[in-house]
Chains A and B, each alone.
Chain A
Amino acid sequence: MLTVSTGNNAVAAAVRQANPAVVAAYPITPQTEIVEQIANYVTNGSLKSKYIPVESEHSAMAACIGASITGVRTFTATSSHGLLYMHEMVNWAAGARLPIVMANVNRALGPGWNVWAEHTDALQTRDTGWLQVYVSTVQEAYDATLMAFRIAEDRRVYLPVMINLDGFALSHISQQLEESEVGDFIPPLVLDHAIQTDAPAGYGCMTSSADYFRIRYDIERSMRDSVQVIKETEEAFAQTFGRKYSWTEEYRCEDADVLILAMGTLGKEAEVAVDILRNEGVKAGSMRVRWIRPFPELNLGDRELVVIDRNYSFGFGGILATSIRAKTGKECYNVIAGLGGQEVTYHDIAGFVRDRRIGEEFWFGVDA
């Protein structure tokens, strides 16, 4: 079915298709619409979930954890300060190996108060054991949400998945959306470690250093196995619904001399910048990084790299750029742009490429 939808409503529509048993969530701008829409679905009977309107984000994730450990499908959504407020439980969900799915609408962190897009919120939770995908269109928000359930709930993964969409720039814009009947694309959840009263066990109790270490190792092994699961899921998705996704979305990369790497909506804008640059005779290509955890294998060749970060790790650098440097040993031109929703157009992005100074960092709109 073809409709027009916002990014937020697309996420809610996908959640309705996935039909979780329990949704627990707390509103925060710009995620609020997701919560409201799910509440509407539950009220009008089109979604059968138990909807728990909790009193805080800490409790939203805690309630999802409590529900998930019984073996049922769960969902929540948050943003920015909400994500930070639930950080303790975000760790808990992954450590407890619970396939919770969460949409995070990326937003800046106070102070000063700012409700606009920035990726620092989600990236502050990047070491928690959650899989993280960054989407760039309304359709992708919908599709990634559907796939997230199948990936998280795969026995080889059993880790939570976070779908990230840019605040306002994607959460509140309207685009065409093709909704699909999921059918058996998301199989029923079978959680091997679901709590059983006829087979009592202790969950999350005190653990020796050696066992704790092994549990961490196990998380990392599943993180690596998730690479295959993500690939399989995206292939199955393409076969079932005809919409194709891959680890990095590449645009005119084959013969490119310079690559633009970015995440979320800026990664999409970069494609237009590539066309502008190509018209000027610059052989540019764009590589939109979708999954940041697990981190992608990047096939960069010997091309020059312009990496745009809508985030920052103070005292260190843009998080995508420093990750690429660490993983590939390649230098780049690191542009910090779009923090707190700063407007960045495709003309600006083309400008970053024209003015690139490999090995340097540039704060757009601040640095001269």
Chain B
Amino acid sequence: MSGTSASEYIWKCTSACAGCSSSLILRHVLKAAGPDTVLVVPACCTSVLQGVWPNTSFNIPVYNVAFAAAAAVASGMAAAFESMGRTTNVIAYAGDGGTVDIGIQALSGALERGTNFLYICYDNEAYGNTGMQRSGSTPLGARTTTTPGGKTHVKKDLDRIIAAHHLPYMATACSAYPQDLVKKVQKALSIKGPKFMHILAPCPPGWRYDASQTIEVGKMAVKTGIWAMYEREYDSLTLSGPTKAAMIKPAPLEDYLKMQGRFSSISEDAIRVIRGEIERNLRLLKAEAEGTC
């Protein structure tokens, strides 16, 4: 991909599931960041797919930490590098559970303190590492091992929580749009201070679709508008191309839900609520992008 490193920082021997989009995201993130980067990884699928010590499938230093601690560890690391006058990129790469649930306190603290780091939440909408339990990021109606009848609460609006920290840069992205993703990572890393990216990461075993469908499912999420892509620099919001297109002519939500086994028992009521959520979210984003809110 243009403008990114030709080197690979993730080798082909990861123990990720076939069709894992999170490892694809990480491959692009690291290519965009280059070799002077330290990755901080809390307990999540990413801690597993590195492989077993002393081998590792990552060609970059990876610091594995406890589930709730990624943003705080990154905070200390960033402060230490700063004290040494080093410009090494500090990137925390955490799942949705480690971000919207247990890690949110540390993340909020690090953002508030102006930590110079990039925090990336790859969102596979469940606890993948421990076998697909619900997280705060699991959508309404989705079946997980702890919501066998479908989740009864809507997905937590992480991005607006993050936005309330008034940070220099935040963006959403999706594994199915790697060029957009890479551009956003590069932009994030060019800015000093706290940066946040929330990236949708379709997950074949968790979402129950065939591994070959990973890109299609991701594209469909964006096309239906259930996943919106944009950048926010302080108060100024820019919608990304595919989301602008989805606002003009959205794909049917049912098509997205039907692709995935986890929604097989979703009720009509739940679909109505999700549709309402999508419409409300897109309306708010559009107003914000046009500066009319």
Contact = CB atoms under 8 A, between A and B. Distances in A.
Given A22-B80, A22-B83, A89-B69, A207 B75 contact: no
Interface string A1-35: 00000000000000000000110100000000000
Interface string A59-70: 110111111111
A202 interface: yes
B186 interface: no
B77 A66 contact: yes
B82 interface: yes
B65 interface: yes
A174 interface: no
Contact of B52 (A68, A92, A207): A207
B56 A201 contact: yes
Given A55-B106, A55-B112, A197-B37, A202 B58 contact: yes
Contacts of B282: none
A206 B52 contact: yes
Size range of the interface on B? 35 or more
Given A205-B47, A211-B53, A65 B76 contact: yes
A20 to B, nearest CB: 10
A196 B81 CA distance: 11
Interface in B28-54: 35-38, 40, 47-48, 50-54
A67 B79 contact: yes
B76 A62 contact: yes
Contacts of A69: 63, 77
Nearest to A201: B61
B109 A54 contact: yes
Given A55-B109, A58-B69, A24 B52 contact: no
B68 interface: yes
Interface in B102-117: 105-106, 108-110, 112-113
Nearest to A23: B79
Interface in B46-100: 47-48, 50-54, 56, 58-66, 68-69, 71-84, 88
Nearest to A60: B72
Interface of B: 35-38, 40, 47-48, 50-54, 56, 58-66, 68-69, 71-84, 88, 105-106, 108-110, 112-113
Given A69-B77, A200-B62, A204-B63, 4 more contacts: A202-B61, A204-B64, A205-B51, A205-B56
Which 10 pairs show the lowest CB-CB distances between chains A and B? A66-B76, A55-B109, A63-B76, A59-B72, A62-B72, A66-B73, A202-B56, A67-B76, A204-B64, A66-B77
